[in-house]
A and B are shown apart, each in its own frame.
Chain A
Amino acid sequence: SAVISQKPSRDICQRGTSLTIQCQVDSQVTMMFWYRQQPGQSLTLIATANQGSEATYESGFVIDKFPISRPNLTFSTLTVSNMSPEDSSIYLCSVRQGDTEAFFGQGTRLTVV
């Protein structure tokens, strides 16, 4: 299993600002994923973050809005840029070591006012 620490756990932000979410894993992992969960909805994959290469974004998500860093095998950040109320969601990071069980951080509950 993997222990994932995600920070902050929640935040309230002004529209037009940016928030960076951090995800720290207790072991080295090849693949890290960022998901968004809009209110009352299921989880949607934003991007896959691989160390040493650019993140791969899913349809509907762009790097300018959701820049991702992956400086090493245990850490990643997701930035939500130029926020609007529509960005109010829970953001979760996830890790998976190959074709095995996926684990999730505790999530960041973001409210944009």
Chain B
Amino acid sequence: GIQVEQSPPDLILQEGANSTLRCNFSDSVNNLQWFHQNPWGQLINLFYIPSGTKQNGRLSATTVATERYSLLYISSSQTTDSGVYFCAVGSGSYQLTFGKGTKLSVIP
């Protein structure tokens, strides 16, 4: 099956700093999503982005499908951004394959 690799696995930021999270995938995909998992375990949809670029406030994402990677940018980070960020992809079937996540800690 398709492989999804996320980097870095852990990231510690000072409040106000910017960061870039990366997601590499091993095959063509027709779905790519970024999620934020909060401390209570809930998955929050950030972006549905099988290709192209999207922005939502301080967050933006870019997927270059031909090169099989996606980037999530977080600007002016806040303590509420802390948590685990997952990239998930779909290829052919409707199920999603998740990466192992990036654990982000934003310190005041």
Contacts and interface: CB of A to CB of B under 8 A. Distances in A.
Given A42-B86, A42-B99, A106 B33 contact: no
B41 A90 contact: yes
B94 A99 contact: yes
B95 A45 contact: yes
Q: Which secondary structure characterizes the binding site on chain A?
A: strand
B96 A107 contact: no
A96 B43 CA distance: 15
Nearest to A30: B94
Interface string B17-37: 000000000000011010100
B104 to A, nearest CB: 15
A104 interface: yes
A107 B42 contact: yes
Interface string B86-108: 10101000111111110000000
Nearest to B35: A104
Interface of A: 1, 31, 33, 37, 41-45, 48, 90, 92, 94, 96, 98-104, 106-107, 109
Contact of B33 (A90, A99, A102): A102
A43 B86 contact: yes
A58 to B, nearest CB: 8
Nearest to B4: A42
Interface in B48-81: 48
A99 B30 contact: yes
B45 interface: yes
